[in-house]
Amino acid sequence: MAAPKDLALRFPGDFLFGVATAAYQIEGATREDGRKPCIWDAFSKMPGRVYQQHSGDTACDHYHLWESDLDLIKSLGVDAYRFSIAWPRILPDGRGPVNDKGLDFYDRLIDGMVARGLKVYPTLYHWDLPLTLAGDGGWTARSTAEAFADYVEVVVRRLGDRMDALATINEPWCICHLSHLYGIHAPGEKSVEAFAASVHTLNLAHGLGVQAARSVKPDLPMGIVINAHSVYPASDAPRDREAAERAFQFNNGIFFEPMFQGSYPAEVLDAFGQHMDIRDGDLKTIHQPLDWWGLNYYTPLRVKADTNAGAVYPMAETVPPVPGPELTDIGWEVHEKGLSDLLKDVNSRYSLPDCYITENGACYNDEPQDGVINDQRRIDYLEKHFGAIADAREAGVPVKGYFLWSLMDNFEWAEGYRMRFGVVHVDYDTQVRTLKNSALWYRDLIKAHRQG
């Protein structure tokens, strides 16, 4: 195990260290100050969708505890805080009347960050689509992309003067694949047609959002956060390698190529183009020059060729981890090399701007013992992944910063509150926050980095 000092010395002096959260996962107060429901408010109330019908109704009560939470963040010594802005707080129906009380909350939050010397890294959309827009078709409807652009303009006009960088959308793959094809996240659809429509709507929303933000504040550094998959073939057989490449295009290229090259992968268009409503000028709109991009990485994807006669694109089957690798408590394989391999791969394929690791972390459900949470497995995970980032940097990938997921235990979507990713433990009955040993390790790493 490397000493924090040795690990810290592998990063340049201007490397940014931060923590990350998302609005629906921590804020609570879902019915306060003019906020109306989002798709996750509805989805979590449906039996069988979320573990024990947990919801974000209260979550970590960050809406009321934000000042002490910012003090907590400051105590870790981080440079920056990545959080998301809740669309249904700003435009409760998705479009139309602006809710000033919602903007007031983020005004206070951002002012509190600035007062504490924390850099401000918001994300505009982290999955809390206003429920009213679901009535128009949600992410399958082109009108949602236009509504998103209106929302972006409202936010940047009010809050953009204090932002250090802004992301349009968090994890397109989860919004499209996980939510519209596999049915695991809200709105819980299992439809190829809905999936294909959502992909293009989402890409278009990103492009329109960048344009809207820059129309208000042209110098605001704009980016997107992508949970790209590090894809490995199950064997060296040509058919498995070809399946891995198809899986790459299906999971990654479907977003990277339109955003960074202004086109869709040919195989993606062959498979889904008839459902995507691509119009003249759309790809130019999607292909906005970006100042940065964010990568969220947790675990690799391993695939083999799907040779069944009825196999559909990408004709690739997910292969479970072979017995032997370390798994986190959510069942994800620990494979830090996947992070460095992925960074090098996408940078060789596309012309990309500077990168930030916008999420990385691990689920370990350690509970307090005599007031101490000894989450050594999380420390080991983080140490390995910082090493992988340093490897990628030394190979020429411009990684400029890192945001640890997550600041604190929170509502973990379909898993409810049973899975804990935080470096700060939350007792959901009392809302007491307790720093885990991993938080102390991260604080020491940042301190060693500052001391150089």
Of 333, 336, 359, 412, the active-site residue reads 359
Contact 120, 113 (CB under 8 A): yes
Specify the amino acid at residue 397: V
User: Cβ neighbours of residue 333 under 8 Å, at least 6 residues apart?
Assistant: 299, 300, 321, 325, 326, 327
Contact 246, 315 (CB under 8 A): yes
- Closest listed residue to residue 357, CA positions, set 401, 292, 390: 401
DSSP string across 216-235: H-TTS-EEEEE----EEESS
Number of Cα atoms under 13 Å in the Cβ half of residue 436: 27
Contact 239, 215 (CB under 8 A): no
In terms of DSSP bridges, do strands 399-405 and 424-427 run parallel, antiparallel, or are they unpaired?
unpaired
* 146 carries an active-site annotation: no
* 171 carries an active-site annotation: yes
Q: Which two tokens stand for residue 313?
A: 């694109």
- Dist. CA 328–CA 324, nearest whole Å: 13
Q: Which two tokens stand for residue 244?
A: 């891995």
Of 171, 336, 383, 412, the active-site residue reads 171
Positions annotated as catalytic residues are 171, 359
